[in-house]
Amino acid sequence: MPHSPIWQPFTQMKTADPPLHVERAAGAILELKEGRQIIDAISSWWVTLHGHSHPVLAEALYHQAQTLEHVIFTGFSHEPAETLAHLLCEHTPAPLQRVFFSDNGSTAVEVALKMAYQYWQQVGQPQRSRLIGFAGGYHGDTLGAMTVGQSSPWWQPFQPLLPPLTVVPYPATYPDDPDVSAKEAAALAELQKTLDAAPNEYAALFIEPLVQGAAGMRMCRPEFLQAVSALAKAYGVLVVYDEVMTGFGRTGALFACEKAGTQPDVLCLSKGLSGGCLPLAVTLATEAIYQAFYDDDPARAFFHSHSYTGNPLACAVSVASLQLLLAQPHTYERLEALHWQCQQTYLADVPNLHQFRTCGTIAAMELVLDQQTSYFSALVPKLRRRFLELGVLLRPLGSTLYILPPYCITETQLAAVYGAIRQVAIEVAEGLFGQ
């Protein structure tokens, strides 16, 4: 095959290994062109819920493709979008009763940002234009999404393009963390100080509830989210939850806001929305936000769209995926206990692994290294390569090793993933990676 013209995402093309060609996939298994099989332990970037090539999703896609593949979504609607919107409103917190469709996680956040900003103009408070984010927050790679995640390490070249963001600490924790209360108190004090300094100037606060994904699966307690929500609401600041990763069972509940006992004003969903089958995103908002745009004046409408907004194919598979989750919650509820069991069985005696933490289907731990390693360390691709040699797709986030599997993964397959982590950690300790 000639040299590929493809420019891959999040990849330094000059130094990257040649991409592996996947021929087919089923369940938690990717099969390469040469026949080698790999366990997809990260759900192909956190999107595949029920497993690859799921027959229910395939059937939904097949039937919808024979009826309506796409139609402009301005002035038109269709049954898959209507059904999906009603299901989402029924199973997210009660105030979220309006659904705006888009294409992916970044655009769901873009919609939320524009919606929150314009909302305050519409209700006569244009001074509310400032935004709050959390240290380590990641909300996507488009400019608007970068705006509310400026503490992430990849965007320094674009800093001059981004409006200011007030960043407050995020109290990342783990079981038996002796400092968790102090970290939470410091973060809340900083948020209080920020709001006190400009009590009528902040439009919205953006946070990944319970788990910061790209920052290293950093977890916080529900109590912290409850306190953040109460503070924000006391100052009239809109609370925006980015559940692009944490939604649809990932945290052990259908949505992280449900598990945390909180009610955001805006909720961003994507990734697992379609079960990992097709690109789709939604931004849910409260009726109060919707009503601020509901007017006889066309200039007060919310002007945002994408060519494939509300695509019928994506909506149809999303309905099928959500119905599977509702009918079979045990598929994701079972995984937290399995993670803890595997950690005890395979990793408890590995001295260079620590800060084990689990939230629903997500498990993470820190790999002790001779030196601090960042996303840009030469060690990270070595670790990825070694995991692939052992038959497992894992992508360490710096020194953080994490597992975020499809819900269909078997106990045997999960054990193999943990076995690979044990092997790699021992090899790191023995200096085989040339740190």
pLDDT digits (tens, 9 = 90+) for 258-275: 999 999 999 999 999 999
Q: pLDDT-derived band of residue 254, with 50, 70 and 90 as boundaries?
A: very high
395 labeled binding residue: yes
Spell out the residues 6+ positions from residue 213 whose beta carbon is closer than 8 angstroms to its own: 46, 138, 245, 246
140 labeled binding residue: no
102 labeled binding residue: no
| Residue 435, pLDDT score | 55
- Percent helix, strand, coil in the chain, to 5, is 40, 15, 45
pLDDT digits (tens, 9 = 90+) for 290-324: 999 999 999 999 999 999 999 999 999 999 999 99
Share of the chain above pLDDT 90, in %: 89
| Residue 187, pLDDT score | 98
| Residue 371, pLDDT score | 64
357 labeled binding residue: no
Task: Tell me the C-alpha distance between 429 and 417, whole Å.
Answer: 19
| Residue 369, pLDDT score | 80
271 labeled binding residue: yes
Q: pLDDT-derived band of residue 373, with 50, 70 and 90 as boundaries?
A: low
| Residue 154, pLDDT score | 77
45 labeled binding residue: yes
Strand partners, 50: none
Q: pLDDT-derived band of residue 3, with 50, 70 and 90 as boundaries?
A: confident
Residue 196: other Cβ atoms inside 10 A? 9
Task: Specify the pTM.
Answer: 0.96
The CATH label, of 3.40.630.30, 3.40.50.1110, 3.40.50.300, 3.90.1150.10, for the domain at 22-53+330-429 is 3.90.1150.10
Q: List the chain domain ranges.
A: 22-53+330-429, 59-327
| Residue 423, pLDDT score | 97
Residue 297 carries which side chain, given as an amino acid letter? D
Residue 247 sits at the vertex; the CA angle it makes with 242 and 250, to the nearest 5 degrees, is 125
Q: For strand 400-403 and strand 96-102, is the pairing parallel, antiparallel, or unpaired?
A: unpaired
10 Å CB burial of residue 26 (0-12, 13-18, 19+) is: middle
241 labeled binding residue: no
| Residue 286, pLDDT score | 98
| Residue 265, pLDDT score | 98
Residue 256 sits at the vertex; the CA angle it makes with 192 and 181, to the nearest 5 degrees, is 40
305 labeled binding residue: yes
Residue 298: other Cβ atoms inside 10 A? 7
| Residue 4, pLDDT score | 86
> Phi-psi region for residue 118, left (φ > 0), alpha (ψ -120 to 50) or beta?
alpha
Mean pLDDT, the chain, rounded, equals: 95
Residue 395 has pLDDT above 90, yes or no: yes
- Third-level CATH fold of 59-327: Aspartate Aminotransferase; domain 2 (3.40.640)
Encoding tokens for residue 70? 């796409």
Answer whether 143's CB lies under 8 Å from 158's CB.
yes
Residue 377 has pLDDT above 80, yes or no: no
321 labeled binding residue: no
